[in-house]
Structure 1
Amino acid sequence: MRLTILGGGGFRVPLVYGALLGDRAPGRVTAVTLYDADPARLTAIARVLADQAEGVADAPAVTATNDLDEALRRADFVFSAIRVGGLEGRATDERVALAEGVLGQETVGAGGIAYGLRTVPVARELARRIARTAPDAWVINFTNPAGLVTEAMQEELGDRVIGICDSPVGLGRRIARVLGAVRPSEAWIDYVGLNHLGWVRGLHLGGRDELPRLLADDAALESFEEGRLFGAEWLKSIGAIPNEYLHYYYFNREAVRAYREAKQTRGAFLRDQQRAFYAEADRPGQAAGAALAAWDRTRAEREATYMAENREAAGAGEREQDDLESGGYEQVALALMRAIARDERTTLILNVRNRSTLSVLDGAAVIEVPCLVDANGAHPVAVDPLPYHAVGLVTAVKAVEREVLSAARSGSRATAVKAFALHPLVDSVAVARRLVDGYTADHPELAYLR
């Protein structure tokens, strides 16, 4: 089986390759092609992967190229993890938004809209190239904003594009452990929403929903990351455990203040950190294993500082060891490929077409829910209706996503302004206009907006 990774010079690619190294079953991935527009990043990550494969019998062969059609030919699966504008673009998204007093996070609020406006045109073109060059390939999208980009690519490729995210997996695992599950992966998680906008409404162990037991125990609620982030009182009020990204909505003022007071934004931190890593990994004449060691050190620091401003705003303290372990999106991607390629039926939380799952959204809307996966793809399971407090957020954010898709298609500046103005975290049409002005001035990728 052949896997192509778009954004193959990305920092998290070794996580995917590490998961592939652990798969010894028949029909596993035996060839990986890395595609990236940045040759230096591609070389550095290829070195890390070579260090990972050292001493591993029958490790998947790795090739690297900056020729997109060459990368796509004969691919069975295409993993999309591109970053249009790079981390410099992410830092700009944060800076422009925070100057207006609104959130600049890369998937939520103004920053997410700016990132989407840059990314959707590129994602659509990638989907068209895949349709021409590898029409039978399945596309696994991890490019952010994941739900929005998945929906854009589905316009060209339909249900052969499936979006993944590690946030619901990590949340479900943490809840299951607090509830005493010996094997957290065996829990059934009643999770529903959009990407980075979802709630765990139940967690079933042995056929019984154990979430009410957790919600009745303040100490247990505040013993894991999301519980500390939101506080037991709020979780009991809404009767669910939100995805960590909902902290930006429920505690927006506090989050914005923490980001404005930080020494540097998350994007700027990652930009500087990764510059240092790629320079070290690309240095000629290194000893064997040096590139992998540099990557391991950088990843540990990256994970430890994840959502640090939100934890500071909430007084949640440092991340605990259980929150730092891997086993996130790379394991979801591997399980998804196995299920489709080998018809190994499984259940995963994925970003897929709504069809009739949530009555408040149309059939083409991409949602994030548990899905049954087999050789024919991912099929959303039936879920209970959203509570009203969630309906408002989900429908408002989906409306914003649709305006982003429309603006990216038409090039209409007015539609882009509408996307910003309709978002729950942008509090003024005047602010929306200034955001569009700021982003178009700083991002050459947005020159298409007129």
Structure 2
Amino acid sequence: MKKQRLVIAGSGSTYTMGMMMSLIEEKDHFPLKDLVFYDIDEKRQERNAEATEILFKERYPELESFSYTTDKKEAFEDADFVFVQIRTGGLAMREKDEQISLKHGVVGQETCGPGGMAYGLRSIGDMIQLVKDIREYAPKAWILNYTNPAAIVAVALKKEFPDDERLLNICDMPIAIMISYAKMLGLEVWDIVPEYFGLNHFGWFTKIYDTAGNDHTDRLKSKIIHEGFIPEDKEIANDVSWQKTFEQARKMLMDFPEFLPNTYLQYYLYPDQMVEKEDPNCTRARQVIDGRQKRVHDTCDGIIEQGTAEGADLHVDIHGVFMVKAAASLAYNLNERYIVIVENNGIISNLPHDAMVEVPALMTANGPKPFAIGEIPVFYKGLIEGQYAYEKLVTEAYFENSYVKLVQALTLNRTVINPVKAKAIVDEMIEVNGPYWPELK
């Protein structure tokens, strides 16, 4: 089994240490020769890197080389895989996005509504440049992108790199939901075989089987409705905001019982309720800054100070395990089934061919091989077409420097709808995002 040269781009992320634990957990299935951290924020990267160096000496001594750098050539040359998790503007800009949205009485969230629009416009340029940098030094590397908002980023990257077959956008939200399904059904999450369709953060599970072919869908629906629904993934299980989100997913299922919803649909189906429960002075971004970010930074500082990772608050997270398992399936042609983002091309036959859809696919050495979905019902088709039009307009606004298309995008988005409000939000977002956005005309 070939050992891989892996690069983590955006290694200053608060998710990096969970990813490191996942690499340790999966080292027999995705063995590494070299691991490289790359980030433009040297100081933020350094904390994670120094803690990782100690952690790997103790738990991954067979790794031949670990390094961290801000030099593109040093990072990407001869890479086999690059995992990308960048956040242009950082959590500080996410907080501003959320506050501006809430000020105008609409959803404040990093991937949905105006927050997703603002973050998307910030992400596109940096992601395009990053892919170009990687391709300069590693033309054949697999690029697995986690950068949000994945839906908008996926559309933009497909437009810019239409023939790059080794560039794949993936999201861990479906598998995070499946962890809760598995707990309720008494199964292991990797023994669940889901049927699913939609866009990123905008989809539905239609069936839940196990590897023996048993259909658990109706039993699962009944358990969620009558027993409740809670997050089980360690990263979010004790987070009050996520607990409320899973409660809302139960309500969505009760209101629309045909399919099991992705939790993010709450922002589009109940936007007014989502606004009412948010506090502009304690946004979701602020909760992350004071919560996960502080916890991760404190943990890394403790490891560095003590010179050991023994007793540190580190654990394997689904974000990392999903990425590593998907990479292993690509690297070793395992043909394992994962939910990923791919160009539609008739997969969902009554949606646009160029839509970037999120569906189950076999991950092979030649890339993802998605399963055909066929036609979807009118209600879901209508919702998806409106959301995809928004995503496409945001992307076109970036490439065409179009103010009008950005206002059109928000007017279409179910979290806004009102064109007067859409224009006011875009105007204020331009002021705040000036250095990060293209100059709109």
The TM tier, using the shorter chain, reads: 0.7 to 0.9
The residue number in structure 1 matching 2:440 is 449
1:435 counterpart = 2:440 = no
Following TM superposition, by how much is the alpha carbon of 1:291 offset from its aligned partner in structure 2, in angstroms? 11
Q: Which amino acid aligns with 1:69?
A: K
In the TM superposition, what is the alpha-carbon distance from 1:238 to its structure 2 partner? 2.8
State the partner residue of 2:199: 194
SS in structure 2 at match of 1:445: coil
State the shift of 1:417 in Å: 1.6
Tell whether 2:186 aligns with 1:167. no
Higher relative contact order (CA 8 A, sep 6+): 2
Separation in structure 2 between the aligned mates of residue 270 and residue 131 of structure 1, nearest angstrom: 33
- Quick one: structure 1 residues 404 and 134, their matched pair in 2 at CA, closer, same or farther if it must change by over 3 Å? same
Q: 1:82 aligned to 81, 86, 90, which one?
A: 86
Q: Which residue among 11, 17, 41 is the counterpart of 1:14?
A: 17
After superposition, give the CA deviation of every residue in 1:12-69 in whole Å (9 maximum; x if it has no partner). Answer: 0112221212234376222111111111111101022123213223136321111123
Q: How many residues align?
A: 419
Matched residue, 2:283: 265
* 1:55-94 map, 5 Å: 55-56=58-59, 57-59=61-63, 61-94=65-98
> Does residue 1:54 correspond to 2:92, yes or no?
no
Cα distance in 2 between the residues matched to 1:90 and 1:219: 33
Q: Counterpart of 2:386? A: 396
CA distance in 1, matches of 2:213, 2:5: 38
Post-superposition shift, 1:250?
2.3
Matches within 5 A, 1:169-318: 169-181=175-187, 183-205=188-210, 206-217=212-223, 220=226, 222-225=228-231, 228-231=247-250, 234-235=253-254, 237-260=256-279, 263-273=281-291, 274=293, 278=297, 281=300, 286-289=305-308, 293=312, 296=314
**SS of 1:14's equivalent?**
helix
1:370 aligns to 2:356 (yes or no): no
RMSD, aligned α-carbons = 2.5
Mapped to 2, the partners of 1:79 and 1:196 lie a distance apart of 20
Corresponding residue for residue 141 of structure 1: 145
Q: Secondary structure at the match of 1:55?
A: helix
Q: Return the alpha-carbon distance in structure 2 between the equivalents of residues 283 and 236 of structure 1.
A: 47
Over 6 Å off, 4+ runs: none
Partner AA of 2:282 in structure 1 = Q
Displacement of 1:278:
4.0
For the 8 Å contact 2:303–2:309, the answer to whether it is kept is no
Q: What secondary structure, in the 3-state scheme, does the structure 1 residue paired with 2:40 have?
A: coil
| Structure 2 counterparts to residues 398-417 of structure 1, below 5 A | 398-417=388-407
The answer to whether the 8 A contact 2:202-2:264 is kept is yes
Change in CA separation of 1:360 and 1:104 when aligned onto 2, cut-off 3 Å = farther
**1:60 to 1:141, Cα distance in 2 relative to 1, 3 A:** farther
How many angstroms does 1:208 deviate by?
A: 2.8
Mark the runs of 5 or more structure 2 residues left unpaired by the alignment: 232-244
Q: Distance in 2 between matches of 1:189 and 1:41?
A: 37
Query: Residue 290 of structure 1: CA displacement?
Result: 6.9
Which 10-residue stretch deviates more, 58-67 or 221-230?
221-230
Give the Cα separation in 1 of the matches to 2:295 and 2:223.
44
Q: Kindly provide the amino acid, as one letter, of the partner of residue 331 in structure 1.
A: V
Contact 1:147 1:366 in 2 (8 A): yes
Pair 1:354-2:344 in alignment: yes
The 3 A distance-change label for structure 1 pair 291 and 124 is farther
Letter in 2 for 1:23: E
The Cα of 1:237 is off from its aligned counterpart by 3.6
CA gap 1:227/1:144 in 2 versus in 1, 3 angstroms:
closer
Partner of 1:316: none
Instruction: Find the residue that maps to 2:349 and give its secondary structure.
Output: coil
Task: Name the SS for the 2:436 alignment partner.
Answer: helix
**Is the 8 Å Cα contact of residues 411 and 448 (structure 1) preserved in structure 2?**
yes
Q: 1:87 and 1:292 mapped to 2: Cα distance?
A: 28
Using a 3 Å threshold, how does the CA distance of structure 1 residues 240 and 76 change in structure 2: closer, same or farther?
Answer: same
**How many Å apart are 1:292 and its aligned residue?**
8.5
Aligned match of 2:31 in 28, 33, 36? 28
TM-score normalised to structure 1 length? 0.86
The one-character-per-residue Cα deviations of 1:395-422 (angstroms, maximum 9, x if unpaired) are 1111111111111111122222222222
Matched letter for residue 193 of structure 1? G
